[in-house]
Amino acid sequence: MKKIALKKFRLTKKVFSFPYILFLLLFVIVPLVLILINAFLDGDNHLTFANFKTFFSSPASTIVLGNSLLVGVITTLICLIIGYPVAYILSKMSSGRLIVLLYVLPMFINFLIRTLATKAIFIAMNVELGMGTVLFGMVYNYLPFMIMPLHTTISGIDKSYYEAAQDLGADKATVFLKTTLPLSVSGIISGITMVFIPTISSFAISQLLSNGKVFLFGDSIQLSFEQNLYGVGSIMSLVMLAFVLISNLIMNKFNANSDNVRRSLW
């Protein structure tokens, strides 16, 4: 019987996916289900819609959500404005990959340690903590996530496109606007996704770099759970999840359009 069982069991690719599936089930699916259940329960575990009313009728909650989206948009724009020229220049350098690695190295340090170190620098320089320092901390933490996909995409563009455009009489500005920029849209979309979504859901960075003056949505969720307001915190988590899904859908739409542009250039 044992020999028959061993013969039936084969070490295929599917077997290696089982640990990952188990991990997703325990640490992704189950927590999401618990959040969904808690959203409809009150303190006595009775079914209720009061949590929705508490959140959506609170002006403070909508203001915090609006501030989080604003910070996310500003952070993403700053990262894009800084990250694209950096990625473009590094893609033209022979040592570009090594320099990109230097940008990524700080990511191996826990973000709380990096944030505390940034706060210590601001305090030593007598810089007033507030929205400006929060935006600086966000950009500092998430800029590498913009540079990496941009550098990979721009470096992967076939040089024959540039040569063909130049042979047709295009100058450097026209080559960039008509060739490099359209072909790097997928990298731009990946960078925006990797920066905007974590930014709107981040916590601790705003609290540490503003001394509690700036309160974002991630901080509000954390505070709700710390105060045992699991129902309201679950509603806020679902709202944030909805924004993440909407952002992904929009980015996927733009990505599909960029693929069409790439095909037209082919």
In a domain, 37, yes or no: no
In a domain, 132, yes or no: yes
Q: How many CB atoms lie within 10 A of CB 135?
A: 18
The answer to whether residues 234 and 38 touch, using CB atoms and an 8 Å cutoff, is yes
Q: Is the dihedral of CA 234, 236, 242, 248 positive or negative?
A: negative
In a domain, 38, yes or no: no
In a domain, 20, yes or no: no
In a domain, 44, yes or no: no
CATH number of the domain within which 258 lies? 1.10.3720.10
> Tokens for 125?
């320089």
d(CA 21, CA 234): 24
d(CA 232, CA 50): 9
What is the pLDDT, as a whole number, of residue 214? 87
How many domains are contained in the chain? 1
**pTM exceeds 0.85:** no
In a domain, 7, yes or no: no
- pLDDT tens digit at each of 266 positions of the chain: 555 555 555 667 777 788 888 999 998 899 999 999 999 888 777 888 888 888 888 888 888 888 999 999 999 999 999 999 999 999 888 887 888 888 888 888 888 899 999 999 999 999 999 999 999 999 999 999 999 999 989 988 888 878 788 877 888 888 888 888 888 888 898 899 889 988 988 888 898 999 888 888 888 888 888 888 888 889 999 988 888 888 778 777 776 665 665 565 55
In a domain, 1, yes or no: no
Give the closest residue to 234 by CA, choosing from 222, 244, 247, 248: 222
In a domain, 97, yes or no: yes
d(CA 144, CA 146): 5
- Domain of residue 242: give its range: 58-265
> Tokens for 80?
């894009």
What is the pLDDT, as a whole number, of residue 257? 63
What is the pLDDT, as a whole number, of residue 255? 67
